[in-house]
C-alpha cells in the first residue's frame, strides 16, 4: 500500500467536496488502487468558515506556498479558479516536480501552452479531467479509450446553466430573461451571467477538448463564439414544430485536414441523443474514425460531480501514470478552418411585410449567394403588416450567409433584425 499526501489550494465548494470524497471513500480507493490518499494541507484565504466537512484545523493554512513547498506533500490540487494566481501556483508546483490536478478550464484554455511546456520540462504530470464536463470522464475517454482513433468530430453540451435555461424555456414556455432571473435566484446561474450565457465558458471547455483531440494548445480565438443571450422563445417554438430542440453546442470538426471550431446555439434533431440532454446535464458526442459514434453524459458541474473527477485525477497522479503533456504540444500550429469557410445548414427567421413578392425577394437573395432553400414555414398570422417566415437552408458557406444576411436586412420587405442559427445534422 502506497500512501500519498494531497495539498489542496482553494477550499471552496469543490475543495470541500474533494476532502469529503477522500474521507468517505478512502478505504474503497485504497482497495481499488493499492494507494491510500490523505489530505496533507489545505490553503485558503479563509480558514475560518465551516465547509461542512470534518477537517483537522491544523491542516489549514493561508499560505499556498507552504503547501507547494512542503516536502511531505506529493500532489497539488488547484481549486482556486481564475487564471493569474492559479497559474502562478500551478507553475511553481510543476517546476518543483509535483504533479498538479486542476478543475480550472479557464486556466487550461488561456494558459495551456505555458503549463503544458512546464509539465513537459519537469516531467511532473498535469491532470485536468474536471475542467471539462464535470464528473464525466470524457477527457480520459479521448486520451485512453479512443487513443487509436483520429477524432472526426465532437459536439458538446458543456454549460449546465445554458442547458438549464433552454430546458426550462422549452418546457415551461418562458422567456429567456424570466428563466435567467429565476436561475440566478436559485443559484443555477451566476451574477453577472455573462461567462455562461455568452458562450465563453463553453469555449474554454471546447478549447480543452480540441487540444486533447488534436495535440495542440488551441488558442481561444480559434473559436467563433455565440451564446444564447436574448434567445427568443419564438425560436424554440418554431424549432419544436420543425422537429428540433435548441442547444448551446461546442462544435469541433475535422474537415479535410482543417479543424472547424465554433460555439453557438444550434438546432438539434429531436431524435439525436444530444436533444435528450436536459436540465443542467452535460454531454459530449465524439466520433472517431475507428469507433464510430460515442456519447458521454453526466453532471457538468457542482461540488460532488467535480470532486469525482478531481479524485480520479488524484489517483492517477498518485499512480504516476497519465498526465504527460507531450502530446498536447505535438501540433505546434493546428490548421484551423477560417470562419468564413465553414459550411452549415441554417435556420432563418424573418419578419416579412405581408405582400406577395416578399418570399420571392428573400429567395432571390439567398439564391444569388449560393444558398438553396430546403423548407419554408409561413404560419397564417395576424400581426398587422408583419408575417414571421422561417427558412431552413441546405448547406452553404458561412461567408455566403454573411453576405446574404446583409442584403436581406436591407430588403424593403424585411422588418426588424433577422434571426439566424445553425442546424446540426451530425453528418
Contact 82, 108 (CB under 8 A): no
Which position among 176, 297, 347, 401 is part of the footprint of its own copies (CB under 8 A)? 297
* CA separation for the pair 199, 206 (Å, rounded): 10
Which position among 10, 15, 288, 388 is part of the footprint of its own copies (CB under 8 A)? 288
By DSSP bridging, strand 126-127 and strand 100-102 are parallel
* CA separation for the pair 91, 97 (Å, rounded): 10
The reply to whether 385 sits near its own copies by the rule CB under 8 A is: no
Catalytic residue among 2, 205, 332, 395: 205
How large is the angle between the packed helices 303-319 and 13-33, nearest 10 degrees? 50
The reply to whether 22 sits near its own copies by the rule CB under 8 A is: yes
Q: Is residue 205 flagged as an active site residue?
A: yes
How large is the angle between the packed helices 160-172 and 233-242, nearest 10 degrees? 70
- For its own copies, the closer of residues 327 and 426 by Cβ is 327
Region near its own copies per CB under 8 A, out of 63-71, 98-106, 137-145, 257-265: 137-145
The reply to whether 293 sits near its own copies by the rule CB under 8 A is: yes
**CA distances (Å), 398 to each of 180, 228, 249, 370, 394, in order?**
30, 19, 17, 11, 12
The reply to whether 257 sits near its own copies by the rule CB under 8 A is: no
- For its own copies, the closer of residues 217 and 305 by Cβ is 305
Strand segments, DSSP code E, in 143-213 are 151-157
- For its own copies, the closer of residues 22 and 43 by Cβ is 22
Which residues is 37 bridged to in the sheet? 4
When computed from its CA atoms, the radius of gyration of the chain, rounded to whole angstroms, is 24
The reply to whether 392 sits near its own copies by the rule CB under 8 A is: no
> Of 92-131, which residues contact its own copies (CB under 8 A)?
129
The reply to whether 330 sits near its own copies by the rule CB under 8 A is: yes
The reply to whether 172 sits near its own copies by the rule CB under 8 A is: no
Q: How big is the site for its own copies, counted in residues (CB under 8 A)?
A: 60
- For its own copies, the closer of residues 21 and 418 by Cβ is 21
Backbone angle region of 173, left / alpha / beta, with phi > 0 → left and psi within -120 to 50 → alpha? left
* CA separation for the pair 162, 179 (Å, rounded): 10
Cell of 64: 499556498
Contact 334, 214 (CB under 8 A): yes
Closest CA to 219 of 331, 84, 92, 90: 331
Cβ 142 to its own copies shortest distance, Å = 9
Which position among 47, 291, 363, 397 is part of the footprint of its own copies (CB under 8 A)? 291
- For its own copies, the closer of residues 185 and 326 by Cβ is 326
DSSP symbol at 133: S
Cell of 312: 480520479
The reply to whether 149 sits near its own copies by the rule CB under 8 A is: yes
Cβ 38 to its own copies shortest distance, Å = 14
- For its own copies, the closer of residues 312 and 418 by Cβ is 312
> Of 208-227, which residues contact its own copies (CB under 8 A)?
215
> Of 43-82, which residues contact its own copies (CB under 8 A)?
none
Contact 289, 152 (CB under 8 A): yes
Which position among 46, 144, 172, 241 is part of the footprint of its own copies (CB under 8 A)? 144
Residues labelled catalytic: 205
The residues binding its own copies (CB under 8 A) are 17, 21-22, 24-25, 28-29, 31-34, 129, 135-137, 140-141, 143-150, 215, 271, 273, 276-277, 281, 283, 288-299, 304-305, 307-309, 311-312, 315-316, 319, 321-322, 324, 326-327, 330
Amino acid at each position: 500500500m502506497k500512501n500519498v499526501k494531497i495539498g489542496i489550494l482553494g477550499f471552496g465548494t469543490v475543495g470541500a467536496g474533494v476532502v469529503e470524497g477522500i474521507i468517505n471513500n478512502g478505504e474503497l480507493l485504497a482497495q481499488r488502487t493499492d494507494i491510500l490518499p490523505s489530505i496533507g494541507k489545505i490553503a485558503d484565504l479563509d480558514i475560518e468558515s465551516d465547509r461542512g466537512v470534518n477537517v483537522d484545523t491544523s491542516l489549514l493554512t493561508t499560505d499556498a506556498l507552504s503547501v507547494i513547498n512542503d516536502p511531505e506533500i506529493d500532489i497539488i490540487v488547484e481549486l482556486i479558479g481564475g487564471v493569474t494566481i492559479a497559474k502562478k501556483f500551478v507553475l511553481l508546483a510543476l517546476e518543483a516536480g509535483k504533479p498538479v490536478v486542476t478543475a480550472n478550464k479557464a486556466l487550461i484554455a488561456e494558459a495551456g501552452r505555458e503549463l503544458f511546456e512546464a509539465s513537459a520540462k519537469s516531467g511532473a504530470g498535469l491532470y485536468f479531467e474536471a475542467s471539462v464536463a464535470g464528473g464525466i470522464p470524457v477527457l480520459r475517454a479521448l486520451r485512453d479509450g479512443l487513443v487509436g482513433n483520429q477524432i472526426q468530430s465532437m459536439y458538446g453540451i458543456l454549460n449546465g446553466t445554458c442547458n438549464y435555461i433552454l430546458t426550462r424555456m422549452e418546457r415551461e414556455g418562458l422567456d429567456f430573461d424570466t428563466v435567467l432571473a429565476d436561475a440566478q435566484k436559485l443559484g443555477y446561474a451566476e451574477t453577472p451571467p455573462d461567462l455562461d450565457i455568452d458562450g465563453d465558458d463553453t469555449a474554454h471547455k471546447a478549447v480543452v477538448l480540441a487540444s486533447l483531440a488534436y495535440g495542440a494548445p488551441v488558442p481561444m480565438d480559434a473559436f467563433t463564439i455565440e451564446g444564447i443571450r436574448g434567445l427568443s422563445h419564438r425560436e424554440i417554438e418554431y424549432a419544436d414544430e420543425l422537429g428540433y430542440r435548441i442547444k448551446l453546442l461546442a462544435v469541433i470538426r475535422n474537415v479535410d485536414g482543417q479543424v472547424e471550431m465554433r460555439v453557438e446555439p444550434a438546432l438539434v434533431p429531436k431524435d439525436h441523443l444530444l436533444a435528450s440532454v436536459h436540465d443542467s446535464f452535460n454531454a459530449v458526442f465524439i466520433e472517431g474514425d475507428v469507433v464510430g459514434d460515442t456519447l458521454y453524459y453526466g453532471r457538468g458541474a457542482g461540488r460532488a460531480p467535480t470532486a469525482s473527477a478531481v479524485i480520479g485525477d488524484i489517483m492517477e497522479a498518485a499512480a504516476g501514470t497519465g498526465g504527460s503533456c507531450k502530446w498536447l504540444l505535438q501540433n505546434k500550429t493546428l490548421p484551423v478552418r477560417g470562419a468564413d469557410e465553414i459550411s452549415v445548414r441554417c435556420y432563418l427567421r424573418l419578419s416579412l411585410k405581408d405582400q406577395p413578392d416578399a418570399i420571392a425577394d428573400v429567395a432571390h437573395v439567398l439564391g444569388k449567394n449560393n444558398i438553396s432553400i430546403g423548407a419554408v414555414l409561413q404560419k397564417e398570422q395576424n400581426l398587422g403588416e408583419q408575417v414571421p417566415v422561417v427558412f431552413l437552408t441546405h448547406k452553404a458557406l458561412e461567408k455566403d450567409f454573411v453576405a446574404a444576411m446583409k442584403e436581406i436586412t436591407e430588403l424593403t420587405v424585411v422588418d426588424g433584425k433577422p434571426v439566424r442559427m445553425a442546424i446540426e445534422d451530425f453528418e
